Every structure is written in structure tokens, then in C-alpha cells.
A = this chain, B = another copy of it.
């Protein structure tokens, strides 16, 4: 399964980066291959200063070795080896009317001292972070997520949509990072769903990503915007940084497993602002966004 899934994400990285370059029309992804001293490595692809994407990364990695002590504690295991591979992407568009998007699909294995698999699971999801709210965009993104989920189980979309709202919650701000999407983890072998079913589900989600995001980019990328709207985008990007550095388990896992810092922190936006106590004017478009983020809703 680990080879099968790693092959899948390699191909998916090619497909996604090719499509994104096409839609950007100006910038190309720059590729960095890296090795992790303790085992494994990755292929980082970053785009910067594009016509559409101000900064973005579409990275794959496959790392293995001894499970770091902090993770052993977390899982309540001892003397374990692990394998983890996944694709992570974050795109920060230039135009404040195009939302930022994040996605991640991953597979994890844990081994005992004889190299036997103790446990294996899939995880992942995708979520949208707009700077201005277009309800039709949020609905389209969620509908794509739901369609892909519904092919596998009617409970998946409502469950994983809810988990996404819970996970991407900036507790210290009491607001969501964005309008959500899907979040799932620890998808293991069960009586009703085996690992082949899980693989089939996760790849269905991965394959649906471009269908969910690209039409929104196409629709908004040429919209003209003011300096004030760009400032608002940069202020909101600050909340994105706060979430990723204070709360995000993926970022912390990367830092703890001696991951490649530049590949992990490629998720941070290119330009960010923090003003003291910035509050949008009541009734404004900016205010409308914040109101929705404080009260996550069902889009489909």
C-alpha cells in the first residue's frame, strides 16, 4: 500500500502543478529534491510571483525511521518505527478575491521491532480560506467535496465537514481559519471498510481537488481590486500564520520529525500585515466575512 499510495501522490503532484502553471500563465514551479538524514526525503515544488499565484507550494514527501519520542508518547507506543508519505499544498493567490486553498492527503504506517505493521491509516482533507465571501464559491467547493464523499459513504461528508470546522478553528480568535471543507484522520481497516476502500476514498478526494478549486480561480482572477482590499487580504493572512504556527498539528509534526523547514513553512503567505486591533466596519464586505468565520455554516 505504501508504494501504491506514494506512486499516486507523485502523479497527482505532476497533474496539479501542470494545471496550476497553465492557469497562472506566467510563473513556473521550482523543484527542490531533499533528503531527511534519518530516512526518506521529498520533492518540494514552489511557485512565486506568478500572475495568479503570489506564492504556493505543492510538496510530496516520504519519510521513515524511528518514531520520534514525542510521537511515541502521543501514540502511547514504544520502540516503534514509522513510515509516512503525503502530498501537501497551499496556494496564496495575488488577487484578494481568489481564496487561499490548502490540501493534504497522507498515509502512515507504524511497525514493531520485527518490522511488522502494527497500525496503518490514511488522513487528509482540503479547505478554503477566502478574503471576501462569495457564497456561490463556498457552495461549489463544498459540493465538490460532498459529491466525492457520497460515492463512498453517506456519512463521510457531514462527518468530515464538521471535523474540518473543528480542526481549523483559531481558538485564541474564536473564529474559523476559512469556510472549511473536509478533514479526516486515522482512516483504518475496519469490518465494513478495508484499506483498499480507504485508498479508493482518499484518491477520489485527491482527484476532485482541481474540480473544486480551479473554477473559482478562473472566475475571480481578473477581478480588479483596490489597495485597501489588498491590505485586507494581507491582514487576514496574519490569521493564517497564527493558525499554522500556534495550532496546526501538521506543522508541529514536521518540526518534531526534523522535517525540512523550508518545505513545511512554504505554507506561510508571502506578505502579511498585523495592525493593532483592526476591526472591519460594520456592514462592510470585510465584516460579512468575519461574521461567517465566527459562525461556521452548512454550505450544501
Contact = CB atoms under 8 A, between A and B. Distances in A.
A77 interface: no
Contacts of A273: 270-272
Nearest to A264: B172
Contacts of A173: 261
A268 B274 contact: yes
A265 interface: yes
A48 B255 CA distance: 33
Copies of this polypeptide in the complex: 2
Given A172-B261, A241-B241, A242-B245, A270 B266 contact: no
A57 interface: yes
A32 B277 contact: yes
Interface string A34-48: 000000000000101
A272 B271 contact: yes
A238 interface: yes
A270 B231 CA distance: 11
A125 interface: no
Interface string A213-237: 0000000000000000000001000
Interface in A264-300: 265-266, 268-277
Contact of A269 (B32, B234, B274): B274
28 contacts: A30-B276, A32-B277, A46-B276, A48-B276, A55-B274, A55-B275, A55-B276, A172-B261, A173-B261, A238-B268, A241-B241, A241-B245, A242-B245, A245-B245, A245-B246, A246-B246, A246-B255, A262-B276, A265-B274, A266-B276, A268-B274, A270-B273, A271-B271, A271-B272, A271-B273, A272-B272, A272-B273, A272-B274
